[in-house]
Chain A
């Protein structure tokens, strides 16, 4: 049962061969036995899950269930869920029981998908290894001495370990795609504005976007059908007609033009990752796709621009954590300023503090033009590169991450080295494009390798179709770690 995809669970439920209660009990039992070692979940609440499962079974019995009614899902602990502890991986929110649901949570509730629990993550989604979580690092199910990637590390690990058939994630600079790659699952970041950010704790508002994480591209398409949609409570939510993201899954690849950015196939791409990506390209050619070399000449500056823009937005967004309305407050203080400064010093971890401080600096008087505006100009150049590239191709392909999962502690001493884990993913967020990662092989140590696809704006369906056709011809996505 635990290797089942959403699609197959949906069929079993429809045929009456299983129930939501049975599925949830099975997954909760697996979570209970594996979470001690993997630490993928921050909160599990069996009573809540089973109550939702009973309601889902009743809905199906009444004939009003949808395709995914009764199929459980885990949610990243960045999404506010009413009555659930919602920590965002931080001590600052260690006592925050959300009084309301995020739009994404509402959508899954409306679809009748029970919540299996809240997954571990880098604190406030700032990190690429899940090691900045106040609740401890998540272990990679393929090798417990290695990181799962981040920031949606708990979501990626729980899907890889089959503790949940799917999970939600969020991606500001690669936080869905990089952990999906390091854990051997499929994850998608939609076009900016497709999924509402309402109730999703903000990191960098112009870059944050929620998306699905699952075993297959087909499952991601089904989940995106649930998640996407206009929501007036997010001022950047786009008013577009409802789409069926599964509509291109069966489109043959003949005539598809795949762009290969020469900057992403340079000397930085080595070893088993290079070989696996080359083999994936060969496989896609065999399926009828053509490849064309494209240029993203400003992509080498995307990490630099990102580490100005994301911290600047974070320093503003995280100013709300002041110990007044919710969350942690320091026990002893002299006056208001002392209360703010001690609350924030004690409530935030060191990576979050570093980023808030970078943000405060680049936005301060005398540095704003040199840093913040310069980074915004670069952002335009990076987005323009993609527009030019998409005149020559339909999707862009690259590795997702420069390496497979690294050892716990290997990059914690040097923030800059950690930041370079996202060199292939960050430009996509700056441009606001959709991107995804899917498994394309294993390295010599048996660790999964991820392939990144980047689509043009609102071209998720085509991108998912390419991934699905690749997954019909390969079985990398079906491999699971032995646990």
Chain B
């Protein structure tokens, strides 16, 4: 497998990372190198092997449906780039 320049641009878009035109070739070379390492995986016979997503066999714990957290909105918003009236501000999305 080899990633094309278009693949790199598409992945960057998926990842929401701006990649300038002059960076594409460098990313392409490095990512292809890494995928070269990853490809070794394909040689392994994994038929009938159950995928392992986690180190422990865990179940999701449930808790009582009661309020446990205090209101710390002011402390959390104090470190935000832009807030107003308790809301996080972002550029206008809907006209």
Q: Once the chains bind, are A206 and B41 in contact (CB under 8 Å)?
A: no
Residues of chain B contacted by A25 (CB below 8 angstroms): none
CA distance A375 to B75 in the complex (A): 41
Q: Which of A165-214 contact B (CB under 8 A)?
A: 192-193, 206-207
Total contacts A-B at CB 8 Å? 166
User: Does B65 count as interface, using CB distance less than 8 angstroms?
Assistant: no
Pick from B14, B41, B53, B91: contact of A378, CB below 8 A: B41
Helix, strand, loop or mixed for chain A's interface?
helix
List residues of chain B with CB under 8 Å of any chain A CB: 3, 7-8, 11-12, 14-19, 27, 30-31, 33-42, 44, 46, 49-56, 58, 60-61, 63, 72, 75-76, 78-82, 88, 90-93
Q: What are 12 of the A-B contact pairs (CB < 8 Å)?
A: A206-B54, A206-B55, A336-B91, A357-B11, A358-B31, A374-B46, A375-B41, A377-B50, A380-B52, A381-B46, A383-B52, A416-B34
A residues near B34, Cβ cutoff 8 Å: 307, 354, 358, 415-416, 419
A38 contact set on B, CB distance < 8 A: none
Q: Are B90 and A354 in contact (CB under 8 A)?
A: no
Chain A residues whose CB sits within 8 angstroms of the CB of B40 once the complex forms:
300-301, 304
Interface residues on A, range: 35 or more
Contacts of A325 in B (CB 8 A): 76, 80, 88
Q: How far is the CB of B79 from chain A (nearest CB, A)?
A: 5
CB <8 Å contact, B52 and A379? yes
Cα A77 to Cα B3 in complex, Å, equals 35
8 Å CB contact of A419 from B37, B53, B56, B58: B37
- Assess A376 versus B51: contact at CB under 8 Å? Given A235-B61, A337-B16: yes
Q: Is the CB of A192 within 8 A of B56?
A: yes
Closest to A209 in B: B55
In the complex, the answer to whether B27 meets A354 with C-beta atoms within 8 Å is yes
Which residues of B sit under 8 angstroms from A131, Cβ to Cβ? none
Asked if A103 is at the interface (CB within 8 A of a chain B CB), the reply is no
